[in-house]
Amino acid sequence: MDDLANQLGISKKTIYHYFKDKDDLVRAVVSHELKSHEVSCRDCESKADNAVHEMFLVMETMKELTKTMNPGSMMELEKYFPSAFDIIKNHKEDFFLSLIKQNLNKGIEQGYYRNELEVDIISKFRLETIFIPFNLHVYPISKFDPIKVHTQLMEHFVFGLMTVKGYELMDQYKQLSKQAI
């Protein structure tokens, strides 16, 4: 709290005027970040032409978010700030699960995802794999680039959902993205 007050150029007393303790501050930051990520996801959803385009936009957004995220932050939150980590778990179950299910159902209806997908099973699977790239025991930063890990795992998941029609469409989005760079 001393370091934070010094960096902000305020007193610790001012911080404690707004936040009961460090846990309260961390919960507020986590809640703010989750709302920001939710806005990003909703933005992808509203801009997308179809389920595959939405998934592509989410993949690109996650790459950008990964650039600014400390890979060890999830493990630190879970260990040192369990109440803040509970906020993430609840948000994951409430918001992300419904978003994943909506996209899967939309993709199946549009013919881009395979008909035989069990949406409840696949959406839970994806939900549980979202944070794997940030697990430093599995993907230590000394050996793995977090952005590459995220991209590879996301593409593996996404391409596993798709019909040939969906695969071809995703490939088009990827090619257009490369041309824009």
Tokens of 124: 């839970």
**pLDDT per residue of the chain (181 residues) written in tens, 0 to 9:** 889 889 999 999 999 999 999 999 999 999 999 999 999 999 999 999 999 999 999 988 888 887 888 778 888 999 999 999 999 999 999 999 999 999 999 999 999 999 999 999 999 999 988 888 888 899 998 999 888 998 899 999 999 999 999 999 999 998 988 887 6
* Domain assignment of residue 39, given as a range: 2-180
Residue 141 contacts by C-beta under 8 Å, 6 or more apart in sequence? 71, 72
* Stated pTM of the model: 0.86
The CATH number assigned to the domain holding 85 equals 1.10.357.10
Provide the b/e sequence for 165-174 (b: ≥16 CB within 10 Å): ebeebbeebe
Domain count, the chain: 1
- How high is the pLDDT of residue 74? 85
Decide if 73 contacts 131 (C-beta within 8 A).
Answer: no
